[in-house]
Structure formats: structure tokens, C-alpha cells
Structure 1
Amino acid sequence: MADKFAIVTGASTGIGFELASLAAENGYDLLVVADEGLIEAAARDFRLHGVQVDALQADLSTTEGVDILLAATSGRRIDVLCANAGRGLGHGFLDQGLADWRRVIDTNITGTLYLLQQVLKGMVARDDGKVLITGSIAGFIPGSFQAVYNGTKAFVDSFADALRNEIKEAKGVTVTTLMPGPVETEFFERADMLDTSVGASKSKSDPADVARDGWTAMMNGDAHIVSGWKNKIQAAVAHVTPAGILAEQHRKMAQPGSAPSDDGGPR
């Protein structure tokens, strides 16, 4: 058993998988969590680094799922938390079912906040610990045809800034927000957005690069990291562009059927 312990949520694929790999490479024992059975296969990969890895399949959109995660720590001191679990949802809001958009909110906000609250209490009490929250530059942009998801990320980005200020007296505890743009993961397939311009784009970020940026920023105690120079520019522009213009730009990326067809035009 290592003397360092990390929790990574949403660790079965994508950014979470890469974050867990970095934690294992750096000698952290792991509790990795996802809402799918693939987390067991991911854990086998992480164990190749010679650390102890416990895998847990749990629904982190529920407080019950978060409680199951917390119980799985067996009271062990948590040195690092990568709160990465998230869910997307495409199409127009009026076409979305209540259960679908509620699950996005419960995963991205409710479950994430409950987990952060429970873990940070211990970190602040002992004045030691590092947290990485996966936000998004989507939080800066009104997300036409992805409105609920972008809204949750706006909440997460803002919440992390407020939380960081609230616990600033705990000098040994850091909260870092990782804010990527579109990343080459299963996100767009799961959000039913493969027929959109952004979903079909070949210029998405590599999840390994995004995770490395986030891990480095967390270890440095940085407040935020926008991963990728193109996303840094987009984030800066979003701060000075009227919301109506940003919403129209997002519409062109996320509206169903906006992906180019074989002849180069929209579908």
C-alpha cells in the first residue's frame, strides 16, 4: 500500500482514464469510479503501475452513489480528488425528456458538489489535500442545442471560484478547475451529438494532453487551467463577446444535422 491515495471519478474512459493513469504513474493508490462496468478493465491497466487500485461501479448522479464511493475509501485519508464525472446532452431543450436533462444536472452538479463537500471537510480539517474539478470552457458560452450541459459547466466554473475563496485559510488545500474545450472522447456519442459540427470535428483535443495539463496545474496548486491554446483564445474572446453572438456561434456547432456531409455541406 502506497502512502498516497487518490480518487478519480469518471475514470473508465477519456480524461478520467488519463488522470487515473497519471495518478498511478506518480505512485498513488487509487479508487476509480464510473457508472459502467468498463471501470474494471480500466483498473487492470492502472494496476500495471504497481499501485493498489479499487474499482467501483456507482451512479454518482445520486447521493446514494456518492455514499457508496465514500464507504469504499474505508476511512483512508484522501490526498487527491479528481472530480471528473460528467454527462452531456445534445438537441434542443424542448425536445429533451425530464429524466435526461435531470440526470445531467444531478451528475454534473448535485453529485459533484456532495462529493466535494464530503471530501473537502477532511482535507480542510487537516490542512492538506488537492482537488481537481473538471469544468469546461463551455461554461463561458450559452450552449444552444446543448443548453443544460453548458449551464451546468457555468455553475461548476463559478462554484469552484467561490469555494476556493471560502477555504483560502486552509493554505495546504488547493482546488483547481480544469477547463478543456471539445475532447476526443465518448462524450459526443453518449450525448447523441455525432451528427453535429462539433461532434464530427477532427480537431478535438487529445484526452491525454488535457489530463496532463490538469494534473500539472493541480500539483502546482493553480486555480484554473484552460487546456489548449485554441481554447485559451476562445475563452478570452467569450469574455468580451455579447451572449447573443456566442449563442448563435454555438448553434452552428451543436445544432443537430450541422455536421458536414461527404460533399462538404451540412447534412
Structure 2
Amino acid sequence: MPNSRTDHLQDRVSVITGASSGIGAASARALAACGARVVLAARNADKLNDLVTSIRDAGGTATARVTDVTRPDDVEGLVEFAAQEFGPVDHLVNNAGLMLFSKWSDRAVDDWDKMIDTNIRGYLYAINAILPGMIARRSGHILNMSSVAGIRVGQASGVYSATKFFIRAITDSLRQEVGTSHGIQISTISPGVIDTGWADKVTNDEGKQIAQHLNQGAISPERIADAVVYALNQPADVTVNDIVIHPTHQQW
């Protein structure tokens, strides 16, 4: 039964991209524990299936669809799948992302392209797929996961930071346009250093050293999941626009 803490999450349909690990997986568990029906999207089928099983074993409601957010047809299919399984989508947690550090002198074009495809195009494709239904119903919630790197540029994070500045810009534009005119709640969360295994994915040698040093003070993805629950668990006339979460000892 819903209660005062979760009454705006009970039976809501929540689509989460990048849900197979890290912040996405933690958010899926937290939302399901509050009564939301979660639809998990990522590229790793085994991890998705394991997460669905663990959520169901804990009494939650979950399903999953293998999705590559860099392909617009895949994301359209995800939204259609969610509607077929549980009904119209109430929440989009735009979370799939890549954080790859390198210096400009490294000319890491492949890494730049991967981040642009996932962090920018992936977010746009998900918004494009989800928005028509929300506008038609004049309700829904889009939560874009940004980063403190979208507030301040750090060492070797130029392109990554640029993608996160982009996310902050589109989030505010969405809030001003579809939020005010169509009643759609628009939020952004900007985490600091979170222990999601991201540092191990950096392939550039110098970038990896910088990433591993930053990650020493990281906090757990569950701390961000708490913020996701807070932002989404609001009545229709309230929007939590922007949450910034740092490890206590992170300077920037």
C-alpha cells in the first residue's frame, strides 16, 4: 500500500536507461522498493536479467529490454515495450552514460565519439521517444542524470564535461517549455564522484591515473538512488529542478 513517503511512486511506470549497473541499477532497486514498476534498459542482457530477478525476489515489479540508446529505433522500441508490459510511461530516468578521461593532446577521437553518442544522442533519443505520450497526457517526469562535471570542468574531462553541460542546458530548456506548458516535471541530478566502476573503463593511460585518483573518495550509487526517489516522489504541482550531490571531501 502507498504511504506518505512513496505515494507518488506506487504503481508508476519508470523507465531507466543504463540500468544494468551503478546508479541505474541502484535507482531501479530503490524505485521498485517504493512500489514503482521499473523497466530496465541497457546493452548487457545477463546483468539486466540478474537485476530483474533480484528485484522480483525482493517483492518488486520489474522487466527489462536490451537497448542501445545510441540507436533511435531501439529507444522507440523500449518505450513501446514498457507501454505493452505495464502501461504508459510515467518516469524516464535518462541515466546511460560514459565518462572517459583524456587530455586534448591525446586526440582521443574514438572516446569523444563514444561520449557524444551515448551522453548526448542517447539522451535526446530517449526524450524524443517518451515526450509525445507525456505531452498528450499532460503528465510525466523526465529526470536527466548530469554530473558536477557539468558545473565545473576538471582535469582531462573536457569532452565529458561538455556533454554534461549539454545535459544541463537541455534540461532547463525542457523545464521552461514542456514543463510550464504541459505539466511535465523535469529534473536533473548532478552527482560528484560515485563508485560505479567508471575509472576502470578509461582506456587512456594518463586519463586512467587521474580517474583512479579521483575515485578514491567516491560514494556509493545508493546515495544517488535516494535522490532519484526524492525527485520522482513529488506531487504533480512540484518539480525538484536540480540536485547536486558531492562526497563530503570532494573539493569541486
- Normalised TM-score (structure 2): 0.83
The structure whose Rg is larger is 1
Q: What does 1:1-267 align with in structure 2 at a 5 Å threshold?
A: 3-37=11-45, 38-75=47-84, 76-170=87-181, 172-192=183-203, 193-196=207-210, 199=213, 201-220=215-234, 221-228=239-246, 230=248, 234=252
Structure 1 contact 226–232 (Cα < 8 Å) conserved: no
In structure 2, list runs of 5 or more residues that go unmatched.
1-9
Structure 2 contact 69–125 (Cα < 8 Å) conserved: no
Q: What secondary structure, in the 3-state scheme, does the structure 2 residue paired with 1:188 have?
A: helix
Identity across matched positions, percent: 28
CA–CA separation in structure 2 for the residues paired with 1:163 and 1:199: 35
In structure 1, list runs of 5 or more residues that go unmatched.
235-267
CA apart distance, 1:9 = 0.8
CA–CA separation in structure 1 for the residues paired with 2:250 and 2:230: 17
Give the letter aligned to residue 228 of structure 1: H
Structure 1 contact 214–225 (Cα < 8 Å) conserved: no
CA apart distance, 1:94 = 4.2
CA–CA separation in structure 2 for the residues paired with 1:198 and 1:95: 18
> What is residue 244 of structure 1 aligned with on the other side?
none
Deviations 1:61-91 (A, max 9, x none): 2223313322322453001111111011112
Structure 2 contact 19–40 (Cα < 8 Å) conserved: yes
Structure 2 contact 218–247 (Cα < 8 Å) conserved: no
CA–CA separation in structure 1 for the residues paired with 2:214 and 2:24: 22
Q: What secondary structure, in the 3-state scheme, does the structure 1 residue paired with 2:216 have?
A: coil
CA RMSD after TM alignment: 2.3
Say if 1:96 and 1:24 are closer, same or farther in 2 by CA, change over 3 A: farther
Deviations 1:120-150 (A, max 9, x none): 2211221211221100110122344121111
Q: What secondary structure, in the 3-state scheme, does the structure 2 residue paired with 1:118 have?
A: helix
CA–CA separation in structure 1 for the residues paired with 2:250 and 2:182: 28
CA apart distance, 1:230 = 4.1
Say if 1:163 and 1:233 are closer, same or farther in 2 by CA, change over 3 A: farther
Structure 1 contact 85–108 (Cα < 8 Å) conserved: yes
Q: What secondary structure, in the 3-state scheme, does the structure 1 residue paired with 2:79 have?
A: helix
CA–CA separation in structure 1 for the residues paired with 2:34 and 2:99: 30
Say if 1:24 and 1:211 are closer, same or farther in 2 by CA, change over 3 A: same
CA–CA separation in structure 2 for the residues paired with 1:164 and 1:231: 31
CA–CA separation in structure 2 for the residues paired with 1:160 and 1:62: 21
Moved over 6 A (4+): none
